[in-house]
């Protein structure tokens, strides 16, 4: 493949997924990491994408850029499915759990449809709709009110006030980005406030984040790394990122792709 053809393919991938990694592209195209870095440099010089550590993102992506739910739903789908399956093993029947908005929490919600006696508090319209269509009479779903964001989250004072009086066994938090300095972040200021209320309501905080979120920083921090009891990620997370997370978080769980086929829990206790 000629360099212009490869660069066009890389640009298409960035536009569809929102971001790419050098190592993934090198393996896919059968070239060296250095060749891919030169491709990314060429595309960045033309203003077609933005280089970041280890890869590239959509040109102009900044700390306040917020992709819509549909745009995010096509990114890292296999990783998100595996993360959702692994996170579901932390949930036992009868628990009260909170699910923030996001495509990864929707992947988790699909795995929780079979859990008996579950109470779910969420500010995600797609999550609430998923449980509603599930039709179980032994599950209770509380959808906060609020102002709807591009990621289909309900945010603002109404949502915050609905959450503040609650006490939840587990809160599963989807994030826009995570870094050692900024912690877990979002590009939406109002969503950050709502998610802080969810964090405060949690007995245990579980963050769901695929590897592409590492070193991405949104404008507003929702929690420090150390506030999470557990982070569930996928094998694409770099070793240096794993080391940082293990310094701050009690449990770092790596969800292998095959775990997406594991059955969701329906009875018994927590499986860690």
What pLDDT shows up at residue 216?
86
From CA 215, how far away is CA 193, in angstroms rounded? 21
Same-domain pairing of 174 and 241: yes
Same-domain pairing of 15 and 87: no
From CA 166, how far away is CA 148, in angstroms rounded? 21
Q: What is the bridge-based pairing of β-strands 140-143 and 183-186?
A: unpaired
Long-range contacts of 48-54 (CB under 8 A, 24+ apart): 48/11, 49/10, 49/11, 49/14, 52/19, 52/215, 52/216, 53/215, 54/21, 54/22, 54/23, 54/215, 54/238
> Is 103 a domain residue?
yes
Name the nearest CA neighbour of 178 among 239, 230, 240, 221. Answer: 221
Q: How far is CA 249 from CA 68, 162, 242, 243, in A?
A: 29, 28, 10, 10
From CA 210, how far away is CA 223, in angstroms rounded? 17
What pLDDT shows up at residue 51?
84
Residue range of the domain that includes 246: 69-261
From CA 253, how far away is CA 250, in angstroms rounded? 10
Provide the residue-wise pLDDT of the chain in tens; the chain has 272 residues. Answer: 888 889 988 988 886 677 889 999 999 999 999 999 999 999 888 777 888 888 887 765 554 455 554 545 445 688 999 999 999 999 999 999 999 999 999 999 999 999 999 999 999 999 999 999 998 999 999 999 999 887 788 999 999 999 999 999 999 999 989 999 999 999 888 899 999 999 999 999 999 999 988 988 888 999 999 999 999 999 999 999 999 999 999 999 999 876 544 444 443 333 33
Same-domain pairing of 39 and 164: no
What pLDDT shows up at residue 227?
97
What pLDDT shows up at residue 161?
95
Same-domain pairing of 54 and 74: no
**Three-class secondary structure of residue 92 per DSSP:** coil
Are the CB atoms for 240 and 61 separated by under 8 Å?
no
> CATH code at 100?
3.40.50.1360
Same-domain pairing of 44 and 165: no
Same-domain pairing of 14 and 127: no
Name the nearest CA neighbour of 7 among 34, 33, 23, 29. Answer: 29
> CATH code at 16?
1.10.10.10
Tally the domains of the chain. 2
Q: Would the CA dihedral through 70, 50, 240, 226 be positive or negative?
A: negative
Same-domain pairing of 151 and 213: yes
Same-domain pairing of 150 and 79: yes
Q: Would the CA dihedral through 133, 134, 135, 136 be positive or negative?
A: negative
What pLDDT shows up at residue 62?
53
Same-domain pairing of 125 and 17: no
Same-domain pairing of 247 and 141: yes
């Amino acid at each position: 493949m000629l360099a212009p053809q490869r660069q066009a393919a890389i640009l298409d991938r960035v536009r569809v997924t929102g971001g790419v990694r050098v190592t993934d592209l090198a393996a896919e195209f059968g070239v060296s990491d250095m060749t891919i870095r030169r491709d990314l440099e060429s595309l960045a010089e033309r203003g077609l994408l933005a280089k970041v550590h280890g890869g590239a993102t959509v040109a102009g992506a900044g700390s306040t850029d917020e992709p819509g739910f549909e745009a995010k739903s096509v990114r890292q789908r296999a990783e998100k499915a595996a993360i959702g399956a692994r996170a579901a093993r932390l949930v036992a029947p009868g628990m009260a759990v909170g699910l923030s908005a996001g495509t990864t929490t929707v992947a988790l919600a699909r795995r929780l449809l079979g859990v008996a006696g579950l109470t779910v508090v969420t500010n995600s319209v797609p999550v609430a709709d998923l449980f509603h269509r599930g039709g179980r009479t032994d599950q209770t779903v509380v959808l906060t009110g609020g102002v709807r964001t591009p990621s289909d989250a309900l945010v603002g004072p109404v949502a915050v006030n609905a959450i503040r009086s609650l006490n939840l066994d587990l809160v599963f938090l989807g994030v826009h980005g995570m870094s050692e300095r900024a912690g877990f972040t979002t590009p939406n200021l109002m969503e950050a406030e709502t998610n802080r209320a969810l964090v405060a309501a949690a007995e245990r905080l579980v963050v769901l984040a695929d590897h592409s979120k590492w070193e991405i920083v949104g404008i507003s921090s929702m929690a420090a790394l150390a506030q999470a009891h557990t982070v569930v990620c996928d094998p694409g997370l770099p070793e240096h990122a794993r080391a940082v997370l293990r310094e701050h978080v009690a449990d770092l769980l790596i969800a292998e792709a095959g775990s997406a086929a594991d059955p969701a829990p329906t009875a018994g206790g927590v499986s860690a």
